[in-house]
Amino acid sequence: MTSVATTPIAGQKPGTSGLRKKTAVFMGRHYLENFIQSLFDVVGAKGKTFVLGGDGRYFNDRAAQVILRMAAANGAARVIVGQGAILSTPAASHLIRLHKTDGGVIMSASHNPGGPDEDFGVKFNMANGGPAPEAVTEAMYRRSLELTEYHLLEAQDVDLSRIGRSELGGMIVDVVDPVADYAALMESLFDFPAIRALFAGGFRMRMDSMCAVTGPYAVEILENRLGAAKGTVINATPLPDFGGMHPDPNPTWAAGLMDEMFSENAPDFGAASDGDGDRNMVVGRGIYVSPSDSLAVLAANAPLAPGYKAGLKGIARSMPTSAAADRVAQALGLPHYETPTGWKFFGNLLDAGRATICGEESFGTGSDHVREKDGLWAVLLWLNILAKRRQSVAQILAEHFQRFGRNYYSRHDFEAIPSEAAEAMFTALRAKLAKLKGQNFDGLTVEAADDFAYEDPVDGSVSTKQGVRVLFEGGARAVFRLSGTGTEGATLRLYLERFEPGPKGLSEEPQAALAGVISAAHRIADITGFTGRSAPDVVT
């Protein structure tokens, strides 16, 4: 056991989902060690049990060995590690809950690219399986600024390639199959026999795991257990650099999947997941399903799956997500919640039993089965619905819109804007919010405008400045927000929405349906004037 003298390193401040930095920064002298010591100092390690795993990106294996040696030196009793130091984020959340551990350390920078020149990250999840709240990550940051030493056991590497128990300086290390418990959980929630029958009947699917963590999970569940054709899952081997892919499942970064799903010989159903397996994108044959619509369809049809047959307790969505899910909740007489962006805001609602299904426009959907969003969970719930309804994705969406109306929706991203330009735009926009009401922009009249604030109904905590909302008469809406996850400059997210009750006008192309809102939003915020950009880099 050694204590190594160190000095504080600036900037070890966790963001929305843990500490994310360039891999080279994380590999720098004392960098990982300092952060892990701050983490253990705050949450306490003595006598505790933790889960450890990551998405397999470059440095994942080395970092796991360091974290194990530091856990042992800090007095942890036991660490449960995914074989090969691999665990998807939802699988880690599940293991924390299943074994009632004191939390878990997840090594991932989510959908950011990986490799020596790309990103690495570490986040801590609490005993409920959910991301550490801000009070905890803030305490870690403060601790990092006063650190003088860290504790490390001098030992050989633990063999993480073999399942089984070993000991490290008196600490138990249990290497477990990263997939088995998660797959069993999925099997308990969904109608596997019905989905098996669907595949046996010739239903074809394409799952793009983007060379990231969901590969082994998807192969085991979709191909081995559900009988999807071998090769259904592509890019199925997690690679340290994700094969050079940007493992973010959206129409831009999963362009290969989009091309296939819109081709002549397209399969019936397509899906993709991100670096650490918590995000998902769903595509039907020739039809893209926006995450907001996906949430609404999943909520409306969830009782078709055994795990949700008793119905839902409530539905929650983040503010920039479309109100499509609210319409489902209203029709079913369920409570619905509008939270700030970030999965952590769903934690209290799930723990308190107020919501069962949650979702975000940022390709995240999940339920109370874990405390993270869960990419494969969403894919399996879709499959369960398809297996029960025996309709195409296009038919299911069309019927959904007929029943609930359609919230046309799109997000426009303007990436790598100079931070000062973005700040100036928001300052100007906030300054004119109070004066917008009643003004007309390209035929749309502003009904209300505000800066979204949220009071948590469970613990009463208040979060302010969560995005600027401009609501137009007739139910259209534009939301302006700066991304909290980018690593270069600022990313402006413009969220656009317009409600069409039907029965006519439900099958327009979203960009065309939203043209009026788009031009009004540009005029209101003078996006081009402030940023020099007139067209978005990414459209979802």
Of the candidates 201, 195, 267, 262, which has an alpha carbon nearest to the alpha carbon of residue 231? Answer: 267
Residue 359: exposure state from Cβ atoms within 10 A (0-12, 13-18, ≥19): buried
Assigned token pair, 198: 């669907």
| 483 touches, from Zn ion, ligand G6P, none (C-beta below 5 to 8 Å by class) | ligand G6P
Task: Decide if residue 483 touches ligand G6P (CB under 6 A).
Answer: yes
Binds 248, which of Zn ion, ligand G6P, none (CB < 5 to 8 A, cut-off by type)?
none
- Cβ closest to ligand G6P, residue 399 vs residue 423: 423
493 binds, among ligand G6P, Zn ion, none (CB under 5 to 8 A by kind): ligand G6P
DSSP 359-386: EETTTEEEETTSSS--HHHHHHHHHHHH
Cβ closest to Zn ion, residue 279 vs residue 327: 279
- Residue 57 or 469: which CB sits closer to Zn ion? 57
* 485 part of the interface to ligand G6P, by CB under 6 A: yes
* 6 sits near ligand G6P (criterion: CB under 6 A): no
Tokens of 132: 């550490």
Neighbouring C-alpha atoms within 13 Å toward the C-beta of 21: 18
**Count helices and strands in the chain by DSSP H and E runs:** 18, 27
* Distance (Å, whole) CA 201 – CA 198: 5
322 has catalytic annotation: no
Nearest CB to Zn ion, comparing residues 106 and 312: 106
> What does 364 interact with, of Zn ion, ligand G6P, none (CB < 5 to 8 A by kind)?
ligand G6P
Which amino acid would we find at residue 16?
A: T
Minimum CB separation of residue 279 from Zn ion in Å reads 5
119 binds Zn ion (CB under 5 A): no
Instruction: Please report, as a single letter, which amino acid is at residue 401.
Output: F
> Does 55 sit near Zn ion (CB under 5 A)?
no
Candidate ranges 143-151, 274-282, 397-405, 453-461; the one touching Zn ion (CB under 5 A)? 274-282
What part of residues 372-391 is at the interface with Zn ion (CB under 5 A)? none
Q: Interface with ligand G6P includes 292 (CB under 6 A)? A: no
The yes or no reply on residue 276 touching Zn ion (CB under 5 A) is: yes
In angstroms, the CA 172 to CA 174 distance is 6
Q: Does 110 bind Zn ion (CB under 5 A)?
A: yes
Does residue 503 have a cis bond before it (omega within 30 degrees)?
yes
Strand partners, 121: 20
CA distance 417 to 424: 11
Looking only at Cα atoms, what is the longest distance across the chain? 72
d(CA 223, CA 213): 16
Nearer to ligand G6P, 301 or 483 (CB): 483
Out of 9, 12, 14, 17, point to the residue binding ligand G6P (CB under 6 A): 17
151 SS3 class: strand
Which of Zn ion, ligand G6P, none binds 276 (CB below 5-8 Å, type-dependent)? Zn ion
Q: What does 274 interact with, of Zn ion, ligand G6P, none (CB < 5 to 8 A by kind)?
A: Zn ion
Record the tokens describing residue 341, joined without a space.
Answer: 């962006």
Decide which of Zn ion, ligand G6P, none touches 343; Cβ closer than 5 to 8 Å per partner kind: ligand G6P
Is 391 within 8 Å of 402 (Cβ atoms)? no
Considering only residues 323 through 342, tell me which ones interact with ligand G6P, judged by CB under 6 A.
341-342
125 binds ligand G6P (CB under 6 A): no
Q: Is 484 one of the binding residues for ligand G6P (CB under 6 A)?
A: yes
Q: Is 219 helix (H, G, I), strand (E, B) or coil?
A: helix
Tell me which residue has its CB nearest to ligand G6P.
Answer: 483
CB of 372 to Zn ion, least distance (A): 8
Q: Any contact of residue 343 with ligand G6P (CB under 6 A)?
A: yes
Q: Write the interaction track for ligand G6P spanning residues 437-476; mark x where CB under 6 A is met and - where it is not.
A: ----------------------------------------
Residue burial 481-502, b: 16+ Cβ < 10 Å; e: rest: bbbebbeeebbbbbbbbbbbee
Q: Which residues pair with 50 in a beta bridge?
A: 79
| Options 274, 293, 326, 360; binder of Zn ion; rule CB under 5 A | 274
Among ligand G6P, Zn ion, none, the one that 347 touches (CB under a kind-dependent 5 to 8 A) is none
Structure token pair of residue 42: 């705050």
d(CA 286, CA 336): 31
C-alpha span between 228 and 233 (Å, rounded): 9
Please choose, out of 139-147, 163-171, 233-241, 356-364, the segment that lies near ligand G6P by the rule CB under 6 A.
Answer: 356-364
Residue 220: name its binding partner from ligand G6P, Zn ion, none (Cβ under 5 to 8 Å by kind).
none
Instruction: Establish if 103 lies at the interface with ligand G6P (CB under 6 A).
Output: no
- What's the first-to-final CA gap in the chain, in angstroms? 51
Please give the Cα distance from 47 to 44 (Å, whole number).
Answer: 9
Of these residues, 17, 93, 108, 110, which one is catalytic? Answer: 110
Question: By the criterion CB under 5 A, which residues form the site for Zn ion?
Answer: 110, 274, 276, 278-279
Give catalytic residue positions.
110
Question: By the criterion CB under 6 A, which residues form the site for ligand G6P?
Answer: 16-17, 110, 341-343, 360, 362, 364, 483-485, 493
